[in-house]
């Protein structure tokens, strides 16, 4: 059996098939790194927005439980306004929520960029979670700016 008996077309086809498999394996490895990065970049803003929600909820003024007063018309000494109630916002926590919201917005923009750039490859899927948390973050930021714009202007100056 000599070199004349070899089927060069068959060998070329096998080599091309092997090269394609190696290219796909390398692409899958890159996808997994990008997928992990996107997962991390989409989970951190979710956690930050939860912390923002908790900060804003604890920074808000205390609310008197007026259900019994209004519904049952009860005016007992147990349902009077407590003088220890906080009637104003805690602006230290509001500032912390503002900073965390900016960080979350930045991470969302980075994740959206990585997601869109990764979509250029064949077979890449768009992570819907990134778009959802991006929309939630932008909406929360707009409402935050509407409600606290005088305070934010003081922080900026």
pLDDT tens, position by position, for the chain (157 residues)? 555 666 777 778 888 888 888 877 776 666 667 777 888 888 999 999 999 999 998 888 866 666 655 666 555 555 555 556 667 888 889 889 999 999 999 999 998 888 887 766 655 677 788 889 889 999 998 998 898 888 878 877 6
Using DSSP, state whether 31 is helix, strand or coil: helix
CA distance 151 to 127: 35
Task: State the pLDDT at residue 79.
Answer: 52
- Residue ranges of domains in the chain: 40-156
Contact between 68 and 118 under an 8 Å Cβ cutoff? The reply is no
> Taking the C-alpha atoms of 25, 27, 33 and 35 in order, what is their torsion angle to the nearest 10 degrees?
-110
Residues 6+ apart with CB under 8 A from 27: 121
Determine the pLDDT at residue 145.
87
Q: What is the pLDDT of residue 37?
A: 81
Instruction: Determine the straight-line distance between the first and last CA of the chain, rounded to whole angstroms.
Output: 87
How confident is the model at residue 50, as a pLDDT? 95
Cα R_g (the chain), whole angstroms: 29
């Amino acid at each position: 059996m000599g070199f004349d008996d070899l089927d060069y077309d068959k060998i070329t086809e096998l080599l091309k098939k092997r090269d394609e498999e190696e290219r796909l394996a390398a692409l899958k490895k890159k996808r997994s790194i990008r997928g992990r990065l996107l997962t991390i970049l989409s989970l951190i803003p979710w956690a930050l927005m939860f912390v923002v929600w908790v900060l804003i909820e604890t920074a808000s003024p205390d609310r008197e439980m007026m259900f019994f007063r209004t519904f049952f018309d009860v005016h007992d000494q147990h349902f009077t306004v407590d003088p220890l109630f906080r009637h104003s916002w805690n602006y230290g926590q509001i500032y912390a929520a503002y900073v965390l919201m900016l960080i979350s917005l930045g991470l969302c923009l980075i994740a959206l960029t990585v997601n869109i750039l990764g979509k250029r490859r064949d077979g890449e899927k768009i992570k819907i979670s990134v778009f959802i948390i991006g929309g939630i973050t932008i909406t929360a930021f707009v409402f935050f700016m509407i409600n606290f714009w005088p305070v934010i202007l003081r922080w900026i100056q």
